[in-house]
Amino acid sequence: MESTDTKALLLVDQQPLSLRQCLRYLQASGKLQAFIGDILRQYVLETEINTREDLDISPAMVEQAVVDFRLQQKLTDQKIFQEWLTRNGITYDIFHKQISNSFKLEKLKVVVTEPRLQEYFIERKLFFDRVVLSRIVVDTKEMAEELLSQIEEGASFEHLAREYSKGNERIANGMMGPVSRGTMPDNLRAKVDSAELGTIVGPVEIENLWALFRVEQVLPATLEDAQLRQAMQNELFERWLTEKMQQMTVKLQVTE
């Protein structure tokens, strides 16, 4: 029986490359570790999908997804669909299983992350909460105080931002857009949290410059936000996957 070390994995210009040679190329390019990581990731996913009993998917939902895919890709004609399967090197059964597994993967994400979602949300809420700010950035505290006096006397914040600010957002009248509370310096976050909408905060020293901030809008995070919920599920799922992979004992069996 032919050894797996010498059996060709690839044919390049009719020249056979063994599994051992391919792995050596990956190692030389610094990509072997990532390659093994991808294999372990897929191994964990397929093992979970094939062995768990809490991932039941409605057959009707899978069939509808198959129909929808064929309609979207203009593969309703059976001959054209078969040609597409052949080009992609898969059978209909494999294609059908891929669709089914995609649903099971999404359900697996929910099953794994749902018990930890509330706790994770509380843990990360500081970073999920956002505040819409405008700012004027200048070189000195004295200049910032002078501009603050002008604003208090009725000068336009937007006009002063366009004329004096060193920040790139001056072209948008100083508008920065949404900023995560968790990424703000502590001294700025404390002032912003206690400020009312429309009020000026500062001068505040930021990276050897001085800034005035105007609080435009507060955007508190909520678990009802579908996009945020999906992002948290993805983060938690990747963390769970990493933990699973780190618990494995892996030994490369291809010998020199």
Q: Does domain 130-219 have CATH number 3.40.50.2300?
A: no
Are 19 and 254 in contact by the 8 Å Cβ rule? The answer is yes
Q: How far does CA 55 lie from the centroid of its chain?
A: 24
Q: What is the pLDDT of residues 39-63, one digit of tens each?
A: 999 999 999 998 988 898 999 999 9
Question: Residue ranges of the domains in the chain?
Answer: 8-48, 49-128+222-256, 130-219
pLDDT of residue 256: 52
Distance in angstroms (rounded) separating the CA atoms of residues 97 and 59: 11
pLDDT of residue 13: 87
Are 234 and 114 in contact by the 8 Å Cβ rule? The answer is no
Q: What is the pLDDT of residues 15-43, one digit of tens each?
A: 898 888 888 889 899 999 899 889 999 99
pLDDT of residue 255: 60
pLDDT of residue 66: 95
Query: What is 197-236 written as a DSSP string?
Result: TT-EEEEEEETTEEEEEEEEEEE---TT-HHHHHHHHHHH
* Sequence-ordered list of residues with C-beta below 8 angstroms from that of 15, at least 6 positions apart, any chain: none
Q: What is the pLDDT of residues 91-104, one digit of tens each?
A: 999 999 999 999 99
Q: What is the pLDDT of residues 123-137, one digit of tens each?
A: 999 999 999 999 999
Distance in angstroms (rounded) separating the CA atoms of residues 203 and 209: 10
Distance in angstroms (rounded) separating the CA atoms of residues 253 and 249: 13
Q: Rounded to whole angstroms, what are the CA distances from 112 to 41, 103, 107, 116, 226?
A: 15, 14, 9, 8, 17
Are 138 and 178 in contact by the 8 Å Cβ rule? The answer is no
- Two structure tokens written together for 133: 């700010």
Share of the chain above pLDDT 90, in %: 68
pLDDT of residue 187: 86
Q: Which of 147, 141, 193, 195 is nearest to 174 (CA)?
A: 147
Q: What is the pTM of this model?
A: 0.71
Whether omega for the bond prior to residue 115 falls within 30 degrees of 0, making it cis, is no
Q: What is the mean pLDDT of the chain?
A: 90
